[in-house]
Structure 1
Amino acid sequence: MKSAVKLHPYIYNLLIEKDFDEFGAVHLRDALLKITDEYADVTEARKFVHRQLLRLEALGFVHKIENSGGRSRNVYKKTESFHSTTFVPRKLPKNSRLVAIPEKVTPPVSEVDLFLVDLMKEKVVHEAKLAVILSEIEEYQSLMERFPSRKRCFMDLYLQAKNQSAALLGRVAALSKVLGQHNNEHCVC
């Protein structure tokens, strides 16, 4: 009884599980990129597929169908030897040359971090509102200068905007002080 031939798990998936029978290296590479995020770029995936195809061709499991067209895109086909052999996926070696894309690991978020994030968001919102109100104040001042006879119409709106800007400025200042104090002392309230 013949022993099973070990294939790289990705090649095993494509050639055995997905049952590619006649394929080009580019087609195999694209299918590989769809089943794994383990390759940092297309070039690494192409090199990997090329090495695997050369190995399979040397072992007699696939053969190249020469393309008679002008372009040299080779198509590979499984041989009878491939169909009569038992294949198993092998484990990835620890010293694999594959460049893995690191997974984004999110560290656990503490209550203090959430508190600071909330305060920062709140400060940004108040700063944005303050910027709008300050533009509004500038516009009221401009209107009062351009239309002095209508100054009374704009005065109430101008005073409301000034009071609103003072309140927002106070909020921004308070949040800035709390965030500054936390960064300096790491206070736990």
Structure 2
Amino acid sequence: MQLDHLLPSYDFRSHYHRRIAADAETTWRAYRSLTVEELPTVRLLLRLRGLGRLRLSGPVTEVFPIPLLAGGHHEEVRGQAGRYWQPRPSYAPLPAGDADAFRDFAEPGWAKAAVGVRVVPDGDGCVLSAETRVKCTDTRSLGAFAPYWILIKAGGAGLIRLETLRAVAARAEAASHA
């Protein structure tokens, strides 16, 4: 798994998965073409977070400004380093999409966050999983990020992952039965 290479050790982790009654290729296409319009909770949470400056329509993979670090057959990892705990997060000056720079980044005061999405064949269907890992670069950022993580894992990020898995499953299963 590419996430293991990019962020092998972490301070925080969440993992969600769902079995889908569709083949891996159909499910991957459903994930890659998922739109924000299909995710009402995501739209609401983005508005509440004050990220109204983001475009709230179109493909999810284009709306969220999270750089792609690695991609492959039915797998991708997106990530960046930021100060997520701030009301308006700031981001580390890393070259967008540079996997090596992300992996090696260790400047104090940041949290490196990566999200891996993967589809694995499973009998007559597949399993779609989304894993988030966060590694803080020092104890001060760890202390600042920890309360934020509790809030988003219980609410925002957890709800987003569950809603995304549900929407992809609905789209993929509808396509496989068409």
Per the shorter chain, which TM-score range? under 0.3
Return the structure number with greater relative CO, CA threshold 8 A, min gap 6: 2
Q: TM-score normalized by structure 2? A: 0.27
Q: Which has the larger radius of gyration?
A: 1
Q: Which has the higher strand share?
A: 2
Length-normalised TM-score, structure 1:
0.26
